[in-house]
């Protein structure tokens, strides 16, 4: 029996008939289309004018405009048509767009600082988590550590904690340490949550690198640290990259801690997006524009991560 040759399909001699395959494919494509529709609607809404976005019935065909994006990035004030008429002609396309609605741009909105917060907190916590996680994972993979299983369970269980439950004492602790609403506080917090995933994932990746490579390096007179740096790390680089992206996605998407522990200075995108208010209620095109910008990196990473997705969501225990 040639198991290796037939591994690609589960039913090798029970290979599905072309009709069954077409039927399965049709259903899956139908489901995928239903999945993607809400996202496409949001991307489309970002290019609608405010009146098109709240039209009844909802508009599928509309004239695209960048108003949503302009509204997202600016704060505007309403002026009388007379006032607008007296102004010098608009210098830029976005000034023009805004003046059509009898408004002038008063200044930038808060979206850029929020986005920058997301980037700093995301990358900062990812870097720290991956750094600490790599060290710990290497130790768990290569050395005999007393109570290793219990420690690993402890590390994993911290990720299972309900954020709303631990937010109270963390809030009190951060108030004492002057860490509330600071980037540092959020970086430390997200590092703590991410490090559990990093340890579990990276341990799996390092376990797969044969020990013989290091043994050989040690024989050649390398120290453990040199062997780690020059032999193990280069081989674990794909795993480390995948782990980093998973950590980044987590801190990028996190909402509960962000909404409970930040109010301004260190606020990230997820708590900010729902509160983009325009004149007379929620400015849906601007909200949709923010959502689109926020989601684009995630979509790219998902495509990149396809192969590692399963590992990432099961803490490295299940492999494809």
Partner 1 sequence: MDTMTTILQPDHATIPGVSTPAKSRAARRVHGLSDRAIAWLFVAPTIALLLAINIFPLIWMIRLSFTNLNLSMSYLPLRFVGLDNFRDILADEDVWFRLQTTAQFVISSVTLQVVVGFGLALLINRQFRGHSFWTTIILLPMMLSPAVVGNFWTLLLQPQIGPFNHLISLFTGVPPSSFSMTGQVSLAPWTIVLVDTWMWAPYVMLICLAGLRSIPDYIYEAAEVDRASAWRQFWSITLPMTVPFLMLAVLFRAIENFKMFDMVNLLTSGGPGSTTELVSISLKRAAFEKWRTGYSSALAIILFVTVFGAANIYVKTLNKVKQR
Site for partner 1 in 227-266 (CB under 8 A): 249, 252-256, 259-260
Q: What angle do CA 289, 294, 298 make, to 5 degrees?
A: 135
Among the listed ranges 65-73, 78-86, 94-102, 288-296, the one in contact with partner 1 (CB under 8 A) is: 288-296
111 binds partner 1 (CB under 8 A): no
41 binds partner 1 (CB under 8 A): yes
296 binds partner 1 (CB under 8 A): no
Helices (H), the chain: 3-6, 18-45, 50-53, 67-73, 81-86, 93-99, 111-142, 148-160, 163-176, 183-207, 211-219, 224-227, 233-235, 237-253, 256-261, 269-272, 284-305, 309-313
Task: Measure the CA–CA gap between 39 and 36, rounded to whole angstroms.
Answer: 5
Beta carbon of residue 24, minimum distance to partner 1 (angstroms, whole number): 4
Nearer Cβ to partner 1, position 58 or 64?
58
Task: Measure the CA–CA gap between 269 and 246, rounded to whole angstroms.
Answer: 18
Q: Provide the token pair at 216.
A: 């050989």
133 binds partner 1 (CB under 8 A): yes
106 binds partner 1 (CB under 8 A): no
Q: Could you say which of 66, 104, 120, 188 contacts partner 1 (CB under 8 A)?
A: 188
Nearer Cβ to partner 1, position 101 or 224?
224
Number of residues that bind partner 1 (CB under 8 A): 115
Nearer Cβ to partner 1, position 85 or 219?
219
315 binds partner 1 (CB under 8 A): yes
Looking only at residues 5 through 24 of this chain, which bind partner 1 when binding is defined by CB under 8 A?
Answer: 6-14, 16, 20-22, 24
75 binds partner 1 (CB under 8 A): no
Looking only at residues 151 through 180 of this chain, which bind partner 1 when binding is defined by CB under 8 A?
Answer: 151, 153-158, 160-170, 172-173
Task: Measure the CA–CA gap between 47 and 75, rounded to whole angstroms.
Answer: 18
Q: Who's near 104: CB < 8 A, 6+ residues apart?
A: 76, 77, 79, 84, 87, 95, 98
Q: Provide the token pair at 45.
A: 């809404």
């Amino acid at each position: 029996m040639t198991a290796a040759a037939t591994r690609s399909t589960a039913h090798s001699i029970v290979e599905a008939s072309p009709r069954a395959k077409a039927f399965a494919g049709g259903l899956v494509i139908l489901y995928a289309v239903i999945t993607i529709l809400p996202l496409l609607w949001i991307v489309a809404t970002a290019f609608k004018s405010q009146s098109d976005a709240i039209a009844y019935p909802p508009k599928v065909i509309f004239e695209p405009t960048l108003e949503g994006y302009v509204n997202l990035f600016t704060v505007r004030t309403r002026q009388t048509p007379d006032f607008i008429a007296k102004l010098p002609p608009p210098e830029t396309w976005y000034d023009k767009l805004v003046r059509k609605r009898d408004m002038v741009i008063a200044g930038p909105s808060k979206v850029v600082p929020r986005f920058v917060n997301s980037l700093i907190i995301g990358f900062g916590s990812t870097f720290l988590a991956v750094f600490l996680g790599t060290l710990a994972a290497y130790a768990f993979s290569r050395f005999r550590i007393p109570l290793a299983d219990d420690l690993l369970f402890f590390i994993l269980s911290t990720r299972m904690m309900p954020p709303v439950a631990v937010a109270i004492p963390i809030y009190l602790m951060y108030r004492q340490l002057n860490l509330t609403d600071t980037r540092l506080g959020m970086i430390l917090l997200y590092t703590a949550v991410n490090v559990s995933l990093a340890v579990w994932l990276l341990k799996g990746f390092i376990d797969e690198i044969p020990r013989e490579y290091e043994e050989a390096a040690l024989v050649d007179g390398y120290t453990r640290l040199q062997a780690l740096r020059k032999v193990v790390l280069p081989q674990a680089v794909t795993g480390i990259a995948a782990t980093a992206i998973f950590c980044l996605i987590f801190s990028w998407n996190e909402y509960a801690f962000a909404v409970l522990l930040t109010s301004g200075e260190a606020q990230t995108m997820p708590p900010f997006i729902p509160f983009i208010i325009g004149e007379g209620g929620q400015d849906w095109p601007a909200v949709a524009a923010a959502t689109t910008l926020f989601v684009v990196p995630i979509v790219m990473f998902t495509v990149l991560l396809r192969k590692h997705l399963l590992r990432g969501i099961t803490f490295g225990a299940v492999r494809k």
